[in-house]
A and B are shown apart, each in its own frame.
Chain A
């Protein structure tokens, strides 16, 4: 590592968070397989009603219990090392974050055991669907509690990251990843409280007969609150990954990242703009023309700093010698998917085309290319790079290459396929296209995408095997 030389073993809390995220990924992936079963083969798969529970659990598990604790775990494991400190600012905050996230996951899954079944409103839990009349199951309350706990868990970890950064760096060069995690934590501290407020008010509506979000109150208020949190959350998850990809390319080529200052400015611009664009999730609710046009302009403007980040990756590779190992393979895949996924956001940023696309599979394809594909491959790159530090042993190079290649190929089939379905007007969250005569002819496409998704799921076992194998064989003393 050319940026930090202090050898700091990761704390127990960091490892606990990383393990928890492994559980979150496994569960989220399992739910994805089950819901793809219904989509591809509705006759034999889980029922239409169960499908609603499955996509709710899938999205929630992936955002709050896979990606979020993975990033918290990485920041808690690596930040002290990057900054040249022996520990994080607080050694208890990491454990508090872990405990809160674990309780949240328990709440999410516990709902499944309740008499009326699990929450089935999607991860956004829009009222009035999520209020008692339409969702009488106590699982819906538990769902809000789960989001509250996970949100607070992320908040505690973010405060700890900011406090650690505030101690300053003792290393010569602070890696870009420290900036990435810092900005991400800033977004979390600003916007997770909005999520906490929204879920608290929702619980009050369900149990205290308040009417914040009932039709007799203002049901749209929740959508505003949710996306004020929800959109910056995307950047809170993305910025550290982009930064780790930058660091990895620089390290790999044996030079510093070119355009470091421009990249930092771009990261800040993405974080700032990303906090002001949430309204593009609400183009179809009848925002006023001024609000809609302002949100459209800000949304599309995110392309400017994002393209500078991509330019810096290319500049870093310029004139460099490259040895293609698993980590670099993952990073290159992540870059390709980021460009692809980012560009598919453009028709969703423009109001008129969004009104046609926003309820369709196109949106699902778009955010899975960015979040599920690009971020996941970027995180795999970071995992390969840092696993020796985390666990004292490297991940298998051969398994890594296979996993990178297969995942890269299959996410294109699954999620680009979804873009196509969306352009054809296929709505998302429809378990069985045969209900809609004008769209029933696309059912075979869903079958194909499900088969590709199953293959993608199986390919993830390579990563699981690689991690478990490394953990099993890692020397006792470094644990």
Chain B
């Protein structure tokens, strides 16, 4: 048998929140399932021993209605509302609390069949200029900095899915979608496409490489200078939504 099934190693700051909520709903589900099955098994075992069904008590309907209301209340208060509240809090304070400011590493993600390209704004911090750094299939990011992605696609719908970052976001032609993460550990995280995009869909992958800050700065400075040097004067139109970013 192959590897044991487990959540992939987490590299992102908001990963633990998702893992905690997953664990929460799995534990609650297993508990509810076990309870329901224990009742079902007991009912079946007793039922097999009876020779005749006992008639319902005259007020059985009323008891059932009460039990149904109680069950509904327990499901709502015990399972649904805490789950919704936690997910809502995580969305508000983490997943959809998009970072702003100079410390943010902004990246444009262009999905295409069957690869990913990434564009950094380069030394001038502006997209669509000669010093932009474009890479194919590898996204380099510095450790600890918030990385904000603007995703789009130039053909069909794809999904940027990085299990190690607990991150899934569609890349849709004609639109920009956003996602962000903050890498907390050095390493390489695989990115796959999680929206079927044609026959070679399984081959559509990339790597997010988390570098120490100094290494990232050295790399981006060098690459940005190289881009500037190799720039042929052609028009580099910014095709991201970054111009709208506050």
A472 interface contact, C-beta 8 A: no
A464 interface contact, C-beta 8 A: no
B238 interface contact, C-beta 8 A: no
Q: How far is the CB of A144 from chain B (nearest CB, A)?
A: 16
Residues of B near A387 (CB, < 8 A) are: none
Q: Are A255 and B64 in contact, with the CB atoms below 8 A? A: no
Interface window among B124-132, B137-145, B156-164, B225-233: B156-164
Alpha-carbon distance between A438 and B64 when the two chains are bound, in angstroms: 51
Residues of B near A52 (CB, < 8 A) are: 196, 198-199, 201
Q: Are A335 and B194 in contact, with the CB atoms below 8 A? A: no
* Given known contacts A332-B40, A424-B7, A353 and B173 CB-to-CB distance under 8 angstroms: no
Q: How far is the CB of A462 from chain B (nearest CB, A)?
A: 23
Interface window among B26-34, B101-109, B212-220: B26-34
Q: Are A321 and B50 in contact, with the CB atoms below 8 A? A: yes
Interface size on A, residues (CB 8 A): 97
B135 interface contact, C-beta 8 A: no
Give residues 309-363 of A contacting B (CB, 8 Å).
310-312, 314-315, 317-324, 332, 335-336, 339-340, 343-344, 346-347, 349-353, 355-356, 358-360
Q: Which residue of A lies closest to B95 (CB)?
A: A352
Q: How far is the CB of A299 from chain B (nearest CB, A)?
A: 9
Residues of A near B155 (CB, < 8 A) are: 128, 133-134
The contact of B40 among A293, A300, A336, by CB within 8 Å, is A336
Q: Are B55 and A255 in contact, with the CB atoms below 8 A? A: yes
Residues of A near B52 (CB, < 8 A) are: 321
The contact of B25 among A253, A293, A353, A442, by CB within 8 Å, is A353
Alpha-carbon distance between A296 and B6 when the two chains are bound, in angstroms: 26
Q: Are B203 and A435 in contact, with the CB atoms below 8 A? A: yes
Q: How far is the CB of A100 from chain B (nearest CB, A)?
A: 28
Q: Are B76 and A346 in contact, with the CB atoms below 8 A? A: no
A49 interface contact, C-beta 8 A: yes
* Given known contacts A430-B202, A431-B202, A315 and B64 CB-to-CB distance under 8 angstroms: yes
A179 interface contact, C-beta 8 A: no
B174 interface contact, C-beta 8 A: yes
Q: Are A423 and B84 in contact, with the CB atoms below 8 A? A: no
The contact of A319 among B8, B48, B54, B166, by CB within 8 Å, is B54
Alpha-carbon distance between A312 and B43 when the two chains are bound, in angstroms: 13
Q: How far is the CB of B69 from chain A (nearest CB, A)?
A: 9
A91 interface contact, C-beta 8 A: no
Q: Which residue of A lies closest to B193 (CB)?
A: A427
Alpha-carbon distance between A438 and B8 when the two chains are bound, in angstroms: 9
Residues of B near A359 (CB, < 8 A) are: 159, 161, 168, 194-195
Q: Are A129 and B190 in contact, with the CB atoms below 8 A? A: no
Q: How far is the CB of B45 from chain A (nearest CB, A)?
A: 9
Residues of A near B205 (CB, < 8 A) are: 435-436
Q: Are A445 and B37 in contact, with the CB atoms below 8 A? A: no
Residues of B near A289 (CB, < 8 A) are: 91-92, 96
Binary contact readout A430-446 vs B (1 if CB under 8 angstroms, 0 otherwise): 11110111110111110
The contact of A443 among B2, B95, B167, B175, by CB within 8 Å, is B2
Residues of A near B244 (CB, < 8 A) are: none
B186 interface contact, C-beta 8 A: no
Residues of A near B87 (CB, < 8 A) are: 296, 350-353
* Given known contacts A308-B72, A423-B5, A352 and B168 CB-to-CB distance under 8 angstroms: no
Q: Which residue of A lies closest to B65 (CB)?
A: A262
Q: Are B194 and A350 in contact, with the CB atoms below 8 A? A: no
Alpha-carbon distance between A258 and B25 when the two chains are bound, in angstroms: 30
Q: How far is the CB of B156 from chain A (nearest CB, A)?
A: 4
Residues of A near B56 (CB, < 8 A) are: 255, 258, 319
Residues of A near B13 (CB, < 8 A) are: none
* Given known contacts A286-B170, A314-B39, A432-B202, A427 and B67 CB-to-CB distance under 8 angstroms: no
The contact of A324 among B3, B48, B61, B96, by CB within 8 Å, is B48
Residues of B near A311 (CB, < 8 A) are: 64, 67-68, 71
Residues of B near A128 (CB, < 8 A) are: 155-157, 173
B136 interface contact, C-beta 8 A: no
Q: Which residue of B lies closest to A256 (CB)?
A: B56
Alpha-carbon distance between A442 and B39 when the two chains are bound, in angstroms: 35
Residues of A near B164 (CB, < 8 A) are: 425, 438
Residues of A near B39 (CB, < 8 A) are: 314
Q: Are B72 and A259 in contact, with the CB atoms below 8 A? A: no
Among B36, B37, B40, the one with the most A-chain Cβ atoms within 10 Å of its Cβ is: B36
Residues of A near B167 (CB, < 8 A) are: 355-356
Q: Are B33 and A356 in contact, with the CB atoms below 8 A? A: no
Alpha-carbon distance between A346 and B31 when the two chains are bound, in angstroms: 13
Residues of A near B84 (CB, < 8 A) are: 293, 296-297, 300, 350
Residues of B near A352 (CB, < 8 A) are: 17-18, 21, 87, 90-91, 95
Q: Are B67 and A129 in contact, with the CB atoms below 8 A? A: no
Alpha-carbon distance between A349 and B65 when the two chains are bound, in angstroms: 27
Q: Are A343 and B32 in contact, with the CB atoms below 8 A? A: yes
Residues of B near A431 (CB, < 8 A) are: 202
Residues of A near B196 (CB, < 8 A) are: 52, 121-122, 129, 429
Q: Are A346 and B29 in contact, with the CB atoms below 8 A? A: yes
Q: Which residue of B lies closest to A360 (CB)?
A: B194
Question: Could you write out 14 A-B pairs with CB less than 8 Å apart?
Answer: A129-B196, A219-B174, A285-B172, A300-B80, A303-B79, A307-B72, A308-B72, A314-B40, A319-B53, A332-B40, A339-B32, A351-B91, A355-B95, A358-B168
4 interchain residue pairs of minimum CB distance: A359-B194, A425-B163, A322-B47, A444-B2
Residue positions of A touching B, CB distance < 8 A: 48-49, 52, 120-122, 126-129, 133-134, 214-220, 253-255, 258-259, 261-262, 266, 284-286, 289, 292-293, 296-297, 300-301, 303-305, 307-308, 310-312, 314-315, 317-324, 332, 335-336, 339-340, 343-344, 346-347, 349-353, 355-356, 358-360, 420-421, 423-425, 427-433, 435-439, 441-445, 448
List 6 additional contacts besides A301-B80, A315-B64; criterion CB under 8 Å: A296-B88, A300-B84, A319-B53, A359-B161, A423-B7, A443-B2
